[in-house]
Chains A and B, each alone.
Chain A
Amino acid sequence: MFAGTDGEYDKLYRYCYFKLHNVQAAEDITQEAFLRLIENSRYKEIKNPLAFLYTVARNLCTDEYRRKKTVEIPEDLPADSHEDKIIENISLQTALDQLTDKEREIILLRYANEVPVEDIGKIYGISRFAVYREVKKILKKLEGRLSYE
């Protein structure tokens, strides 16, 4: 498929889990995104497979979220999912909790999944500079929260 599929699977799954908080749905969407990448690679040249994967996963998560929104409660809510984790830096966790979903998503992509800035730009349809500005703004916000605590 492309180099590092094994590692990217985990990262994409983490991204989907962050969006849906549902193990099964996150894994289904991760696999669907990879299958679509394989399918599309058959007839066209995909210049940036990483951005393709995240864009497909993001859209599928949005569809899934819309579909399930009114039907059922997610199997594990964000607050519960973090309860049983041993988090050494409570203040950073609190600061991250206070960010908006989109800001957390950018931090996840940039620092937890180490997605290059250019790819993040492609996922959101914005320029590299806009991503830099956004990341800087979020880090400043985090710093503000940390110093406040």
Chain B
Amino acid sequence: MNKPGKKDLQDIRKYFEAPEPQGKQGFLQKVSQIPVYAPGKTSIAYITWVQFSYISKWLWVLSAFIFVCIFISSRYIAEDMLWFLSAALPFIVTFSLSESMRSIIYGMQEFEMSSRFTLKSVIMLRVIIIGGVNMFMLLVTAGLSGGGMCRNMLYMLVPYLSSATGGFIILRKFPAREGVYLSSVFGAVISLANLKSVYSYSWIYDTRYTGIWLAAIIVLLAAASYEGYKMADAIGSRA
């Protein structure tokens, strides 16, 4: 039987036939008198703007400061300075992650969940907003700096995305507050590893390996997106 025929369907319906319901008409009549207060439709743009306004201004100030420093150093100061600043990128990730977890750290998750959107959606949205703005700032800085700066951006994105991926995994595995502390430590480790590689393994920044860096970014971007989603999902169901 690939699909039941008309006759089979009739027989199936007959098999599952139930006695006539007694209170149907009365119930439907009563229900039709209940006023319906359906919530209005909310656009994604509006929700994003609302979440945007809740994100601490200090996060944007700090991010902007680091990117401006990267721009100035790459343009007017010695290039060595640039690596110190790129080492600061994982810290932006750390601040961003702690910002995303703010509602849980301060016990506000129940309040968030009582709203129309789940905690998972709220956290996802914040991660996307913060990550998106940081990426945008990075691209703008690269665009303004021009020349070799675009390649330098590749080198900067790797520690940034590594910190984000690691941070997401840590936040998924550990309770909120401890998770933020541990992801800060992880961010610091990535930052130090970045500095160490600049001075001890400078050959990895050779133009021959640009393709490998690009591939690493693609892999890390996919991993960060996947882990970000899993983190929001786990936190949403944990709350």
Contact = CB atoms under 8 A, between A and B. Distances in A.
Interface of A: 1, 5-6, 9-10, 13-14, 17-18, 23, 26-27, 30-31, 34-35, 38, 41-45, 82, 85, 87-89, 92-93, 96, 107-108, 111-112, 139-140, 142-143, 146
A108 B39 contact: no
Interface string B35-54: 01111010000000000000
**Which of B4, B12, B116 gathers the greatest number of chain A CB atoms within 10 Å?**
B12
Given A44-B116, A45-B41, A142-B1, A5 B18 contact: no
A146 B1 contact: yes
A139 B4 contact: yes
Given A38-B34, A140-B1, A10 B11 contact: no
Contact of A89 (B11, B37, B38): B11
B11 A92 contact: yes
B1 A85 contact: no
Given A38-B36, A45-B41, A13 B21 contact: yes
Interface of B: 1-4, 7-9, 11-19, 21-24, 27-28, 31, 34, 36-39, 41, 116
**Which of B3, B21, B24 gathers the greatest number of chain A CB atoms within 10 Å?**
B21
A5 B28 contact: yes
- Main secondary structure, interface of A, reads helix
B239 to A, nearest CB: 17
Contacts of B8: 89, 92
A93 B31 contact: no
16 contacts: A5-B28, A5-B31, A18-B16, A18-B18, A27-B21, A35-B31, A41-B36, A43-B39, A43-B116, A87-B14, A87-B15, A89-B7, A89-B8, A96-B12, A139-B1, A140-B1
Nearest to A38: B34
Given A30-B21, A31-B27, A38-B31, A139 B2 contact: yes
